[in-house]
Amino acid sequence: MPAARLSNRGMRFVSKTNTQMSSGNNRLCYKAFAEAKSCLPKIIVGTGARKQMKTAASLAMTAATVDPQFAAYIGLDWGDQKHAWALQVAGGCKIEQGEVESTPEAMECWVSELTQRFGSQRIAIALEQSRGSVVAQLSKYSNLVLYPINPKSAADYRSSFRLSGAKSDDVDAVLWLEILTLHRDRLRPLQPDTVETRMLRVLTEQRRNVVNSQTACSNQLTDLLKQIFPQALEWLDKVATAMACDFLRRWPTLQQLKRSRSHTVQQFFQQHNSRSAERIQERLEQIARAVPATEDRALLEPGVMMIDFLTRQLDHLREAIVALNAKIRKVATAHPDYALVASFPGAGPVMAPRLIALLGTNRERFASASELQCFSGIAPVTEASGKQHWIHWRLACSKFDRQSVHEWAQHSMKKCQWAREYYDAQRDRGKGHHTAIRALGYKWLRILYRCWKNHTPYEESRYLESRQSRRAEEPKNSTAPVNITWKSCGSFSRPAAISY
């Protein structure tokens, strides 16, 4: 931690230096008029005249840095223009600080300097990012081991020592270095998966983002049509289809549509694969009777421009989804775990790649099914304090992974009878729809984990036989009546005798 001094206004700490500091100079003053001294407990090291007084923090930091696995430790606080870093050599106490620009060229020079200084020895770097520009630039160097820190954990750690909420990049870099050296056993180093698995992860997330953009664009177009052309929503069914976009670009208002001949409108629907003669005739009759929602030019002219823009945007998004589907299908079918994951009910061409991206390739990534359930965000969170006890769904997780398991569990009910029965049983117990879906996903993940761990595809009959055997081994509850005789003891009653 950087040395600090108190200003004459009281409890405000000001950084003293930005180059090199010793942990022995780390003094936390809690009174403005007191001599600078540590408020941490002191421990005596050594015997006789060579006794030394060290704080518990300095001892822990020194012990943590003596590790033959790494030559140095770095805390990196990334930024858009510059990254602040704090470096500590293994076994040493001095902390060096500096800045490096965020450009690839500057990062290349910085890593080259570290390589010249420490050779081929490995260097541990703690940063507040699990993926992004900084991770992409540093992952290509084999001598760097990245330790991502959860932003919420980093913020809580910072607030533990800075109650005022003050922060700066150089101080944060020292804090990340402190987390790395003192609590590295609680951090998990970044271990990139195979290229195919990481590509599936990126492709499936991009597809989800494009679908969300398509939904947002469709909602915006729907809201616009309700103002100037609400009849089109009934005639076109879905505004995101190719037929709807072509129709609205050609006739963005009811006034323009009415000026066209019935034969022209009929021919348009036939060319767009609307072959039902009854449906086309019904549309033509409704067009003849339709009344414009507004004649206000202040709404019509800007609305026509926006309709043209939104329909063209929907065309591009639809093409992007088709291209992403083709690429995902090509990468997923070549993945070694595709057949295993695709054997599960509901894991079709869309859900199977997302489940593969969730699991990864490394079988040692999750030590148990519980870790997978928590990582995916489908496992609930239990909080208890005193007499209060409540359970809620998990918020600190990947929303994409949680959505993947949720959607997969919902699709599985259409293909699996016991999954549907399990969902119905949850609903009969008073659970809401999404709560029951999460409970089913929680159960599916336990089965998926075991099959994935053993490299075994899912077999419905095998699972049902195993479930039946487990139920047979469970002790059966006695249905015999129980008679309890109660005895009054002051202001309360207690059981006096129990008979069966």
Residue after which a domain boundary falls, among 126, 158, 186 = 186
Q: What distance lies between CA 148 and its chain's CA centroid?
A: 14
Residues 220 and 175 in one domain: no
The whole domain housing 204 covers: 198-333
Do residues 55 and 44 touch, judged by C-beta distance below 8 A? Answer: no
**Which residues of the chain fall short of a pLDDT of 50?**
1-66
**Assigned domain for 237 exists:** yes
392/272 same-domain check: no
Query: CATH number of the domain that 220 lies in?
Result: 1.10.287
Does a structural domain hold residue 73? yes
Domains in the chain, number: 3
Q: Mention every residue, 6+ apart, whose C-beta is less than 8 A from residue 102.
A: 78, 79, 80, 81, 82, 83, 133, 134
Q: If you count them, how many residues does the chain have?
A: 500
Token pair in block for residue 272: 């767009």
- Contacts with 444 (C-beta within 8 Å, 6 or more apart), sequence order: 344, 405, 408, 409, 412, 419
Of 313, 333, 353, which residue is a domain's last? Answer: 333
Residue 265 belongs to what H/E stretch?
helix 262-271
Distance from the first to the final alpha carbon of the chain: 69
With respect to residue 324, please indicate whether it lies within any of the assigned structural domains.
yes
The reply to whether 110 and 233 lie within a common domain is no
Q: Is residue 250 part of a domain?
A: yes
Q: What is the pLDDT of residue 293?
A: 93
CATH number at residue 65: 3.30.420
Cα distance between residue 268 and residue 273, in whole Å: 9
CB 275 within 8 A of CB 246: no
Q: Is residue 361 a contact partner of residue 337, using CB atoms and an 8 Å limit?
A: yes
Judge if 173 and 202 occupy the same domain. no
The reply to whether 225 and 288 lie within a common domain is yes
The tens digit of pLDDT for each residue in 328-357 reads 999 999 999 999 999 999 999 999 999 999
Q: Are residues 358 and 327 in the same domain?
A: no
On whether both 179 and 213 belong to a single domain, the answer is: no
Q: Are residues 117 and 218 in the same domain?
A: no
Q: What is the reported pLDDT for 63?
A: 44
- Residue 320 CA to residue 312 CA, distance in Å, equals 13
132, two tokens: 């992004």
Tell me if 12 is assigned to some domain: no
Q: Are residues 332 and 338 in contact, defined by beta-carbon separation less than 8 angstroms? A: yes
Checking DSSP bridges between strand 4-6 and strand 483-489, what pairing results, if any?
Answer: unpaired
CA atoms of 374 and 76, how far apart (whole Å): 28
156 lies in a domain? yes
Q: Are residues 66 and 180 in the same domain?
A: yes
Phi, psi (degrees; rounded to nearest 5) at 146: -95, 135
- Domain membership of residue 24 (yes or no) is no
The last residue of one of the domains, among 305, 333, 361, is 333
Task: Specify whether 175 is located in the same domain as 67.
Answer: yes
Are 238 and 279 members of one domain? yes
Would residue 300 count as lying in a domain?
Answer: yes
Indicate if 115 and 240 belong to the same structural domain.
Answer: no
Contact 244, 236 (CB under 8 A): yes
